[in-house]
Amino acid sequence: MAGDRKVVEDKTRFLVRKENRIVSVLSVLGVFLLWEILGRSGFVTPLFLPPFTAVLHAGVEMVQSGEIFEHMMASLWRIGCGFFMGAAAGIFTGLATGYSQLADDVAHPIVAATYPIPKIAILPLLILWLGIGEASKIAVIALGVFFPVAINVRAGVRNMETVLIKAALSLGSGPFHIVTRVILPASVPMIFAGLKLGIGIALLLVVTAEMIAADKGIGFLILSAADLMQTGRLLFGILVLSIMGISFAWILEIVERRLVPWR
């Protein structure tokens, strides 16, 4: 018996993964060290790849002047509004199409037909409809977030255990309670899968939209720095985007662990 248990443990050991934060930190520090070495080696022109310390120096100047915070707040506002609107619409559509066959017959073909369209290609049309202000940028972010959330939530509802719904029906639950008490909690893991995809798409779209039509934001900062060949400022803007993306993913991970502790 003990021997069989040992065999099972050996075969399933690869499934048990423990996060090693020290290795993760060392890998990031190794990239920065290599970056610094390449920037100072002379093999790469500093105009194209300045040393990491020079990028930090440019970032410190932007922090001291407050410029970087102005651009960050503009981008965060657009991401927050677009992400909330797109996620709310996506969750509602995913629940409706997953639960109701009629809703699925109506909405799913439209979602399937419009999902492959690059969302940034719709931005000129949105600018024509909504103007060059904040509304068009928020709308394109909301569209980008909507599709992965709606598709993932629909898949989560369709793949849930039907015995849960049958049990709720046998206990006299109505459609509203089935959706709120059974389907929605069971779909939470897939909701967060869609949200994690959506936040990455939101970052991509906000940068592109700010490069096309904005006078503030991280995307505008990166484009203006490139036009002036200020590579240090450009790379610092990219680092800020990376930190924002990691922070968003970390926040979603914490919320998911609170709402879905069994995962």
Mean pLDDT of the chain: 87
- The pLDDT of 154-160, averaged and rounded, is 89
29-43, 91-105, 169-183: least confident range: 169-183
| DSSP symbols for 71-133 | HHHHHHHHHHHHHHHHHHHHHHHHHHHHH-HHHHHHHHHHHHHHTTS-GGGGHHHHHHHH-SS
107-111, 148-152, 173-177: least confident range: 173-177
* 57-84 tens-digit pLDDT: 999 999 999 999 999 999 999 999 999 9
Identify the burial level of 20 via C-beta atoms within 10 angstroms of its C-beta, where 0-12 means exposed, 13-18 middle and 19 or more buried.
exposed
Global pTM value: 0.85
Domains of the chain, start order? 63-259 (1.10.3720.10)
C-beta separation of 209 from 140 below 8 A: yes
CA distance 145 to 92: 13
pLDDT greater at residue 134 or residue 25: 134
Q: What is the pLDDT of residue 172?
A: 77
* 108-147 tens-digit pLDDT: 899 989 999 998 889 989 988 998 889 999 999 999 999 9
Checking if the pLDDT of 173 tops 50, the result is yes
C-beta separation of 169 from 99 below 8 A: no
Q: What is the pLDDT of residue 214?
A: 86
SS3 content of the chain, % helix, strand, coil (to 5): 85, 0, 15
CA distance 201 to 142: 10
Q: What is the pLDDT of residue 8?
A: 47
Checking if the pLDDT of 20 tops 90, the result is no
Most confidently modeled range among 21-35, 168-182, 185-199? 185-199
Q: For Cα atoms 62, 208, 228, give the angle at the middle one, nearest 5 degrees.
A: 45
Q: pLDDT > 90: what percent of the chain?
A: 57
